[in-house]
Structure 1
């Protein structure tokens, strides 16, 4: 019996790979004509940072997020280098508040910061280091999952506008983000910039706490950095705005002036699906399972929720 997975973002791909690893016949339907086209997952930072995210989210994401790091590490390259959180001296109160809202970190002084990130030596007096966090390259991870699904006999159909109603008698997992059939979804727009710098080197994601422009910078290969991300309550699609671009680049310059000479490689914006509590859900109606609502925690929580979706599908098939 074939299982139809709708959507080739991080939700759909993690669900499909779990089902394929269980020996099930999987067909992934993706409306875009190529991987990453119009997908919020393609523009993600790839931070696997459950402790940091819990500063503004439900602490219930921590344990699933930690398990998610292991899921990814078993399948794709993952950098387990932790996360560094910094604030300018004038924003020291923000750093203290962040520390109070989080756990599993240690306080660093200027020498400690320089030991982890030599290029930031002398620029910050205090920081927080979250040793158990990690990061990955989302685009590399998604491409790896596609190959994994295909190697296990699965099929990916690009440009397939499949709708659950047209597959009413089939087993379906709807992972189409905002287009999924799930009441209560809203869009949260995120914007990012990719740059290449030969003047700045970072080994791990750095979060800069700033009252106007809080950002994160995630290193990738060949001197590339992802700078993100705005959080705007809007379902408006389209390119990044001038204001957001200026704010992101200004904050990067505040982290290190070497970013002033960086090359801008790409800008992007996408709407992420979210429920009112900003936590994802797996629901079931008949032979159809819906998995959506990852908000800004796509790569962090997709492994846990895809496991729930896969178990729901397997239970359906056993009952058939």
Structure 2
């Protein structure tokens, strides 16, 4: 029996990968339901390794390239790519972004108009990352829980994990050296007058914005990364900056309804890359930072490779077929 502490994104993904190899898994989640206390509920759900390379290490591409296929076996994934644009006055930001990324094609204003008619006439240049995708984080967590149950994972809710477990996925609550919180803020908007079908990144030197469709003309917007351990709601200044950026993307967002705002603490190591750490007899998966849905599949696979040797997997399959 493999025991896991934490029923968030990292814990559930690891439970699924381990259970797929035939091992019995028991996962402990202190909250009353899956996702209730997970920082993943505030995520954008962008599966965008090539865009993320703009501010991250090369490992984000190598680890994240398989994420869309992995998630496609769990939950609906929109594979419409990422469109990166900038106001005319900030074209230098687009040039800088292109220098730091790859796997894109340059698009002009006419091509942007075809890709996203709602943005017609608003941007003269952009970068289109056709291989990227996005998902709905909250739906994905629910579907991941269903997948875990389907594989026989025993999920124990409302119960603190034992002091000693095989795998600790408790995020910022874990006692790990160098782990720090990075605050991220977001808002969910309903804008019936705007139809956007793919992730949009609006570049700006002070307040870059990403917008991710949630369906039915509902959009998640996010921008902030603050070195802070505060869990208070987003400030008026942060919300004002995000909403102003959304207005820059399309003026109709001035009339959007704000359905929800929120802030979460993302666990991060100094290099902003996830790690597997052995500490006090347990393996820890932590430090997913802002790349949770993108890197969780690869890191969960690494966890399974560590905890479940190939010989166990092969022997288990052989014994089941005997």
Consecutive aligned runs of 4 or more in structure 1 exceeding 6 Å deviation: none
Quote the residue 1:30 is aligned against. Answer: 29
Quote the residue 1:215 is aligned against. Answer: 209
Quote the residue 1:112 is aligned against. Answer: 111
CA distance in 1, matches of 2:253, 2:311: 53
Q: 2:176 aligns with which of 155, 171, 182?
A: 182
Work out whether residues 287 and 316 of structure 1, in 8 Å CA contact, stay in contact via their aligned partners in 2.
Answer: no
CA distance in 2, matches of 1:316, 1:285: 23
CA distance in 2, matches of 1:233, 1:178: 13
Quote the residue 1:235 is aligned against. Answer: 229
CA distance in 2, matches of 1:286, 1:314: 19
Work out whether residues 29 and 160 of structure 2, in 8 Å CA contact, stay in contact via their aligned partners in 1.
Answer: yes
> Secondary structure of the equivalent of 1:38?
coil
Report the Cα offset of residue 281 of structure 1.
0.2
CA distance in 1, matches of 2:236, 2:35: 23
Report the Cα offset of residue 80 of structure 1.
0.8
Quote the residue 1:267 is aligned against. Answer: 261
Report the Cα offset of residue 57 of structure 1.
0.4
CA distance in 1, matches of 2:257, 2:19: 40
Report the Cα offset of residue 223 of structure 1.
1.4
Report the Cα offset of residue 310 of structure 1.
1.3
Quote the residue 2:102 is aligned against. Answer: 103
Work out whether residues 274 and 294 of structure 1, in 8 Å CA contact, stay in contact via their aligned partners in 2.
Answer: yes
CA distance in 1, matches of 2:310, 2:166: 10
CA distance in 1, matches of 2:294, 2:270: 19
Unaligned stretches of 5+ in structure 1?
none
CA distance in 1, matches of 2:157, 2:232: 22
CA distance in 1, matches of 2:191, 2:156: 37
Matched ranges for 1:34-53 at <5 A: 34-53=33-52
> Secondary structure of the equivalent of 2:308?
helix
* CA root-mean-square deviation: 1.6
Matched ranges for 1:162-173 at <5 A: 162-163=161-162, 166-167=163-164, 171-173=165-167
> Secondary structure of the equivalent of 2:240?
helix
Report the Cα offset of residue 315 of structure 1.
3.3
Q: What is the number of equivalent residue pairs in this alignment? A: 313
CA distance in 1, matches of 2:280, 2:7: 22
- Of residues 176-185 and 129-138 in structure 1, the stretch that sits farther from structure 2 once superposed is 176-185
With the length of structure 1 as denominator, give the TM-score of the two structures: 0.94
